[in-house]
Structure 1
Amino acid sequence: MQNIPEVKLGLIAVSRDCFVISLSERRRAALAAACGKKGVNLYEAKTTVENELDMQKVLEEVKAEGCNALCVFLGNFGPETPETLIAKYFDGPVMYAAAAEETGKDLINGRGDAYCGMLNCSYNLGLRHLDAYIPEYPIGTADEIAEMIADFVPVARTLIGLSNLKIITFGPRPQDFFACNAPIQPLYDLGVEVQENSELDLLIAYRAHANDKRIPDVVADMSKELGTGNQYPDMLPRMAQFELTLLDWAEENKGARKYVAFADKCWPAFPKEFGFEPCYVNSRMNTRGIPVSCEVDIYGALSEYIGMCVTGDTVTLLDINNSVPADLYNEDIKTKYSYKLNDTFMGFHCGNTPSCKLCADRAVKYQLIQNRLLENGNTPDFTRGTLEGDIAAGDITFYRLQGTADGQLRSYVAEGEVLPVATRSFGGIGVFAIPEMGRFYRHVLVGKRYPHHGAVAFQHCGKALYSIFQYLGVKDIAYNQPAGNLYKDENPFA
């Protein structure tokens, strides 16, 4: 994906001047070697930081190497002021970790006391109001810290991406969909830029792409992707024209930013005026690494982009849509899986999920609900253009970062799976299962007033998402509590 950053990681060792500097340098070399064995590429800085002048020197060194994220490694106790000033003056995410003692046979000159130094490091970061990534247990051997650094990479990639992201919107929102509307001030607080446009601006740009010479090539690519699912070949030129419109708009309007996401209006005026539903094009944009959220859901687009950075894979945005009927549950789920009925639900959207995440029988169809509304249930014309099919089975993470009405940020993360169960329904849809979903639905999604849209990553990535939201300063990070762990507002007698 070209729309997410590449992490260029730098490794900096620090050493307190009353400790043996060679101990920290030897441990740094071992850590760099362990990272290499695990396939984690990084630049091992030659300067070891003992004082503020070293701090300035090493920052010049890693910047010259193009590093955009750092691991500051306490090979011994470490100098708390210079090591934390690294985070202050480096323009990018910084991780801190410390060396475990290596052997009971060398606890005199070979003892580094980094276990103690990590406490002073954390305290000093707090004094300076600095954000940093600190692993759950930040003390380890070279191999263990190499694993921590590997966990840091997707976190760093996301933080770098957000600092260079512009969300482009085409609105306003459809009536009665206020649930996905939220103040944009928290986005600016995160460093995300927002460009709001009219749906009319998009229509003018679309019409300017009529007879674009690139349309036949895009049509051919769409036909190849869809195969037997190409049920409306006459629609493809219109949708190809729209895809080129979005791609050109992104390139021409990203400005000083490197990465883009869209939050587009898709109904009720869109299909009639453009001549199709935009869902299939949105799915293709997502596959390219450019998320396009439905219904001008700005925080949905933000959440999708975060998931792409974390996983390096495409994501989707779905309605947390409908309960699973009891008869379907009894026939296809109850005796095969360890989920209760209210652990399951159906995630749905009209057709924006990338084709690579749908079952083999996916196809371009028409939007049934919009056909009823806009074409009186007659033979579909401009309500065609959805990409429909059951979502393929596999691990997922349902999550969202949301701005509240009073301008605060909150989030949720829940890991689960899509079950290999036929939905017997329409749209891009799947049967989802999340442990204790019923309680999570009531006390997080309903209780904390989240909108109906949730982002879906197609793997378990809750650990990285939680760390990202912590780094961003989100105070309320909700997750699905295990059975027996009550939510704050949960009735203990229920």
Structure 2
Amino acid sequence: MHRSSSPQPKIALAGLIRPVWSGDKEGQLARSLREMEALAREWGFLFHPCPEPVLTWEDGQRLRAELDAAGVDFLLLQTSSFGSGDALMPLVDGRYRLGVWSVPEPAVEGRLPLNSLCGANHLVSVIVQYAQVPHGVKWFHGQATDPFFQRRFRITVDALRGLKRLQGARIGLVGKHPMGFHNLFFDRRVVEKRFGVRFYDHELADVFARVRKIPPEKARQIAEEMVALASEVRVEPAALEQVGAFEAALLSVAQEGGYDALAVRCWPEWQDEFQRAPCSTLGRLNHLGIPTACEGDLLGALGMLLLNGIVGEPTTIMDMIAFDREDESILLWHCGPTAPALADEQGMRLTLHFNQRLPVANDMVFRKDPGTILQIMGDGQHIFLLDGEGMGREKPSYDGSRGWFRNLRMNRQPISVLDLISTVMAHGLKHHYALALRDCTEAVLEAAAWLGLETLQPVPYSDAKPLASEVR
């Protein structure tokens, strides 16, 4: 629970060789091990070097046991020269994901030194066609210092961070989703198996009992911390101390359950019981490194957790509440559950809930950064992926946590706002979207590929109802 930075995936590098090839196979592997160790220090992942070349089935079997014991998340198999498919076979069903890496030939004519690219083609074919490894393999090419290799590999490292964040994650549901939010139902068993997470339930009554037992000095301390993060305070100290007790109670639930994320039923009981809104409390939990979704949205919390693992900073959950055909933009908004770190230079104001007129909500405009917008759909078999350019304060917006985005792309391809809204409505997307303020779309797509998920496809706008064949 409570991870303040991106997880560090453990990545192993091993080299397959055959003695018949004339190039410096061992030298190539040694060079790559050194350069990969430098990348691990620079990028912040754990590196497991495998200096002994893999020549035989027995070598592969030995290495497989070593990697599983070390808890490796990703095995990068370099064809330091053309290698043996027999040596590969023990490695294909380990508890890690697979990459195959070819390197340029050291000479351009005469005797072929390594046959590395053909070797990679061979290994990938065995993995995909013969071994039929679930969700396959990713290929790489170049030296570890090459920009082409680094760009491709960096996406994998970021995707692995997100997957590591999900691995064995525990997500707590506090209360249920509000009455009438039937679109938040899903089959927990399917999602738990697909994503490797577990969901747990807590009653609001238990949390409320904890609120009443929080010592006043603890609630006051949290209130002071909230004020220190705000650019302006428009609520009374007593209200801040009350929601400070909310935070302490929810933190105790998260700590006792070892939860990595929460989904909280945030109305109407809190308001009825305490005459306070818990919006700022959810923002504080997000600030503290516990992705927390509003309105009991467990899949929303799951999407926030994935994005949080990739970007290593707070994420939030949003509604899509307006679109503008003039400048092809959309407005994302919610009542005020967002961490102050996402605010622009004017910061976050502690104020009243926009609708209930109860304290406390985080009022802010997002900083002018790219946004990645994610929804995990159905029973987790599809994702909706959108990104756009943040507009800051270029346009007016509603009180709460919010931001306008333009230059929209779906699955990294440009999309008009009418096609976007057509897609949202035709597929029946939920009204909640996880948001990270960074373009991490490539890492999300790769994480989805490793999980075996499908990306939702656009449905072009038409004045007529779209045909069933268009909604796929």
Query: Structure 2 length normalisation: TM-score?
Result: 0.86
1:349 counterpart residue number: 334
Is the Cα–Cα contact under 8 Å of residues 80 and 114 in structure 2 kept in the other structure?
no
Kindly provide the CA deviation profile for residues 103-153 of structure 1, in whole angstroms up to 9, marking residues without a partner as x: 304543x13243353344344345434246744x63323324344332211
Runs of 5+ in structure 1 lacking a partner? Answer: 325-339, 372-379, 482-486
2:26 counterpart residue number: 25
Aligned mates of 1:16, 1:440 — CA distance in 2: 53
Which runs of structure 2 are paired with 1:22-421 in the superposition (5 Å)?
23-38=24-39, 39-40=42-43, 42-62=47-67, 67-89=72-94, 91-105=95-109, 107-108=111-112, 110-131=113-134, 134-135=137-138, 138-142=140-144, 143=146, 144-190=148-194, 191-208=196-213, 210-211=214-215, 213-229=217-233, 231-254=235-258, 260-324=260-324, 340-341=325-326, 343-359=328-344, 360-369=346-355, 371=356, 380=357, 383-402=358-377, 404=378, 407=379, 409-420=381-392, 421=394
Kindly provide the CA deviation profile for residues 358-388 of structure 1, in whole angstroms up to 9, marking residues without a partner as x: 231531122232x2xxxxxxxx4xx211101
Aligned mates of 1:81, 1:239 — CA distance in 2: 62
Kindly provide the CA deviation profile for residues 185-225 of structure 1, in whole angstroms up to 9, marking residues without a partner as x: 332222111112222232233333x2165333322211211
Kindly provide the CA deviation profile for residues 395-416 of structure 1, in whole angstroms up to 9, marking residues without a partner as x: 11112222x2xx4611121221
Aligned mates of 2:154, 2:446 — CA distance in 1: 13
- The residue type paired with residue 454 of structure 1 is Y
> Identity over the aligned pairs, expressed in percent?
19
Is the Cα–Cα contact under 8 Å of residues 397 and 461 in structure 1 kept in the other structure?
yes
- The residue type paired with residue 358 of structure 1 is A
Kindly provide the CA deviation profile for residues 149-201 of structure 1, in whole angstroms up to 9, marking residues without a partner as x: 32211111222221221111023211222223322233222211111222223
Aligned residues: 449
Residue 457 of structure 1 deviates from its aligned partner by 1.2
1:449 counterpart residue number: 428
Query: Structure 1 length normalisation: TM-score?
Result: 0.82
DSSP 3-state at the match of 2:170: strand
Residue 342 of structure 1 deviates from its aligned partner by 6.6
Q: 1:57 to 1:477 in 2, by over 3 A?
A: farther
Kindly provide the CA deviation profile for residues 440-472 of structure 1, in whole angstroms up to 9, marking residues without a partner as x: 424432222110111111111111101111110
DSSP 3-state at the match of 2:363: strand
Aligned mates of 1:415, 1:157 — CA distance in 2: 20
Which runs of structure 2 are paired with 1:436-475 in the superposition (5 Å)?
436-475=415-454
Runs of 5+ in structure 2 lacking a partner? Answer: 409-413, 461-465
Q: 1:126 to 1:471 in 2, by over 3 A?
A: farther
DSSP 3-state at the match of 1:214: helix
Aligned mates of 1:212, 1:51 — CA distance in 2: 67
- The residue type paired with residue 368 of structure 1 is F
Is the Cα–Cα contact under 8 Å of residues 321 and 452 in structure 1 kept in the other structure?
no
Aligned mates of 2:363, 2:354 — CA distance in 1: 11
DSSP 3-state at the match of 1:168: strand
- The residue type paired with residue 83 of structure 1 is L
Q: 1:139 to 1:263 in 2, by over 3 A?
A: same
Is the Cα–Cα contact under 8 Å of residues 71 and 97 in structure 1 kept in the other structure?
yes
Is the Cα–Cα contact under 8 Å of residues 443 and 490 in structure 1 kept in the other structure?
no
